[in-house]
Structure 1
Amino acid sequence: MNKTLFILLVVIGITVTVTSIADGADGSNIPAIQVIAGSTPQNTVYLDQHPVPEIIDGSVFVPVRQLSDALTLTLSWNEEKQTISLNKSETVLTFALTDKEATVNSGIVNIGNPPVNKDGYTYVPLRFVAEVFHFYIHFEKDFQGQPTVWITPYSLITAKDYTDLTDSYSKTRDITLDYGWQSDLYILNEKEQTFRGIGLGDTFNQVLQSYGVPFQQDLQENKSGTIMYPYLPIPFSEPSAGMLFTFDRGTLVQVLIF
């Protein structure tokens, strides 16, 4: 499929807020919003098992057990204090049902929308939990026919990153990748910049500041090699689109969009 056509098919309402889709919840077993989450690229999954994610008071809530499993968080319940704790590395999040304050390590923070119990299942606010444990959050109004949220430990490429391909990039078929559409490769031209303002000659740290943690990294100690960011990944599938940055001793020498 032509890259431009692909992007036109998916670039719908990037800036729409989750609140605007709250009316989609109808009480059925079909989620009002699709959630894709994972602690690593290898274990990213749909949170689509019963009970399904829901939108409550304009915020996305997910069953705490499903979320903790997907993000490999340690889940525990204190019967005496009636509190839930989530633990990963050196971060411990503790909260109680209906309480708008939670404890992150030794500090007290405001949740906004507290956890709720529904039909015997505990639901927690997705954004709050994800941000506490430093996961990236990305929302699309329409993906596979549903509003979708991604919770990932790496940053994602969006439709905006494919803006002005014909002006800033040249199409090439002389490069072979292990993933993506081999017939639709675009290489950044000299003296041009990516949508996020990165150009050839910029440093490795500048790219990380603009794009965040990469999905895949193949670098030597002197920072020669590549890093890759995927475009809206689907669980159990290799990335079919994204951006690949190549460095020579920490200096950016090539940018590919596939």
Structure 2
Amino acid sequence: MAHPPVVLVTGASSGIGRACVDAFLAQGARVVAAARRTDRLDELAAQHDGAVLPLALDVRDRDAVNAALGSLPENFSPIDVLVNNAGLARGRTPLHEDDPDDWDQMLDTNVRGLLNVSGAVLPGMVERGSGHVINVGSNAGREVYPGGTVYCATKAAVERITRGMRMDVLGSGVKVSEVDPGMVETEFSVVRFHGDQQAADAVYEGVTPLAAQDIANVVTWIAGQPPHVVIADVLVYPLDQAGTGKIARRKG
């Protein structure tokens, strides 16, 4: 009998990452739930009797990534599916008014972090001739908007990396996919606006945004395709959105 698949989800403590953990657990997978904040993950692991391995991990730290993923316990390795979800946006000001520290945090997490984790997991997948990398991008990687210059650039990099990665592993049996969500209501906007809940709430005012579970459903659907099928990329919008800044807001 085949063992349950092992899924590694980064940014797993909240939002889309946490929803992906729940969705894969519901399918019987074992999940390595990686995040910097592990208190929530410890609670999750306690509820799922050995099916979740909480892993304290800062994807920006390459040495820590290599050490952690190189020493996973036998029942949580090898990694069959990697969901590169860790990412964030910081600030919404014009480039010339930005805090450069925000640039560094976005570049280090959204781009270098994705590369660090992929670089630790992909060699084993290629060697075994199987595996699936699913990168969580954004519609912001397909277009740009005022105040999002660096964030959009990092998500465009995710799209380029995903395409190149797929070419690099071609013929190895490894799949590479990308999911680009539009407006999803998570802690994303609170983080972006440095804890300003009022500014975050205004982003979703008058619209019904996507929920984290909606994206997790797409991720598990992609992962569940037959071996010969690769869903290369999926763009997901709520009904009230048709692009960045193209929002139908209801009054009252």
Structure with higher RCO (Cα < 8 A, 6+ apart): 2
TM range (shorter): under 0.3
TM-score normalized with structure 2 length: 0.26
Which has the larger helix fraction?
2
Quick check: which has more Rg, 1 or 2? 1
